[in-house]
Each structure stands twice: as structure tokens, then as C-alpha cells.
Chain A
Amino acid sequence: MSANTYLTERERDVLESAKVGIAGAGGLGSNVAMLLVRAGMKKLVIADFDTVNESNLNRQFFFRHQLGEKKIDALAANLHLIEPELALELHDVRLTPDNADFVFSGCQIIVEAFDSAEAKKMLLHSLLPTGKPIVSAIGLAGWGRSNDIRTRRVGRNLILVGDQTRDVRDGFAPVGVRVTIAAAMQANSVVSILLGEEP
């Protein structure tokens, strides 16, 4: 039974049967996954090659006892605490133009949740041509200016969350108070698209 009892039967069916990909299990991805599971989703494909380290704890959905663990494994454990009946596909890989389409081939929507600009560019260039909705977050560092983070449609299948300005390379720190705003907006966009509404 879904953890979310506020949904209609139709809404639960839609969310439980949908499959969504999440590229990156860090500040964005771990929180997007958490929110989608809390919303009632069960099928997620999550790809990340990294391990949990102490600097992640300020914004990522991991706990101190998980330091050193693979992020995909630690995240799966945490998600199962919310909802034991999940169908997660976990990929311990660095996504590239050669494997990204294959990893997310069964997904209806893909969430771009990387931290590096290069990886973001790579994923967008690799997956936008598939025509599937891509929900990307760009520009979410620092704190304050919450209202600068917006959701907008770009082109035919890109949903862009963020301010497209605040860059960690310019000295804006990645901190939970603003990263999680963007993650929540990404998750909100996914749920809206699946339920047939504007993101």
C-alpha cells in the first residue's frame, strides 16, 4: 500500500506504475528520490558512482552512519525505510553519452541531478534528442533569493528548474536550504507531468 493516502486511486495507480530515472544521487537526486517515494512512486532508476562523504551531509539524504557507503546503496536503504515495497534499479556507473540512453531506456521521465556543469551539459545533449521529458536543475547554489528559482519549459521536452546564475565555481556554496528547493521543484514537476498537469 502506498505511503500516500491523500491520493485518489487513479493518482496512486499512475504514480505507482510510472518509472522515472534520476541521474545523480547527490544533493538534488537523493532529495528528488525521497520526495517521489513520499509522493507514492515505486519505480526509480538511479545512477551514481560516488560514495557518501562528510561534506555531503549538509544537503544530501544520507546519515552519518552511512559515510563511505555507495550512494546508490545508502539511498536505497533510506528510501526503503519510507516505503518497503519499491522496485529500484541501481546503477553504479559514471553516466556518459554512450550509456545514458541505455541506463534510462525504460524511463518515462529523466531527472538531471548532477553537480558538475560538464555532466549537466553531457546529459542534456545526450537525452534531449530522445524526446522524453528531462527535468534539469541549473543554478541553485548559496542561500537566500528563493524566488529566483523558477520552473520553466524550454523547447519541446526540457523542464528547467533554477536561476541559471548561481554557480558553485563562483564561490556560492552548495547548501541544503536552496538545493532542496530546486529538488522539490524537480520532484513536483515529475509528479505534475505524470498526473497530466503543467509542471
Chain B
Amino acid sequence: MKIKYQGKETETGADTVATFLTTQGVKPTEAVVEYKGDILSGEAALAAPLEDGADLNVFRIVAGG
């Protein structure tokens, strides 16, 4: 299926958000994960099934302030 990841159309065989993030090398605990307009937090939320055409954005949490 194709999803919109970080604003770009991306082909993937992953079935859940968590699985897809693993393929991208993203650790959900180190980022804010936004899927279909909602922020996903916790294992249960990240196990959400990936849907064709859905929007997924990841914002890294870095240090500094």
C-alpha cells in the first residue's frame, strides 16, 4: 500500500504503524508520532493498522532549551 509519510508518498508492506516505523529506523519513544491527525502514544496506539493513503508524520524529540 501507499501512505503519505513525512509529506511524501511512500510504498510499504507494513501492516501497522509500529511495524512501519521500525522499517524507517524510528523509535516511537524518541519522537512524537502523528497518524491521521492524532498523536499516538503507547504500544496499544502504535499497533494501529496502517491504512492506504493515510498521513503519518514523525517529529524527533531532541535536546536543547
A52 within 8 Å of B (CB atoms): no
Which residues A119-137 have CB closer than 8 A to chain B? 120-121, 124-125, 128-129, 137
Q: Given contacts A124-B32, A154-B39, A156-B39, is CB(A137)–CB(B62) below 8 Å?
A: no
Q: Given contacts A129-B41, A138-B60, A164-B60, is CB(A155)–CB(B34) below 8 Å?
A: yes
B37 within 8 Å of A (CB atoms): yes
Q: How far is A29 from B64 in the complex, measured between Cα atoms in Å?
A: 12
Q: Report the interface size class on chain A.
A: 35 or more
Q: Which residues of chain B are near A24, meaning CB under 8 Å?
A: 65
Which of these, B41, B59, B64, contacts A172 with CB under 8 Å?
B64
B63 within 8 Å of A (CB atoms): yes
Q: How far is A168 from B61 in the complex, measured between Cα atoms in Å?
A: 11
A107 within 8 Å of B (CB atoms): no
Q: Is the CB of A26 within 8 A of B65?
A: yes
A116 within 8 Å of B (CB atoms): yes
Q: Given contacts A155-B39, A158-B32, A160-B32, is CB(A179)–CB(B64) below 8 Å?
A: yes
Q: Is the CB of A139 within 8 A of B62?
A: yes
Smallest CB separation, B19 vs chain A (Å)? 21
Chain A 100-118 interface 0/1 with B at a Cβ cutoff of 8 Å (1 = within): 0000000000000111110
B43 within 8 Å of A (CB atoms): no
Chain A residues near B (Cβ < 8 Å): 24, 26-29, 113-117, 120-121, 124-125, 128-129, 137-141, 154-156, 158, 160, 164-170, 172, 174, 179
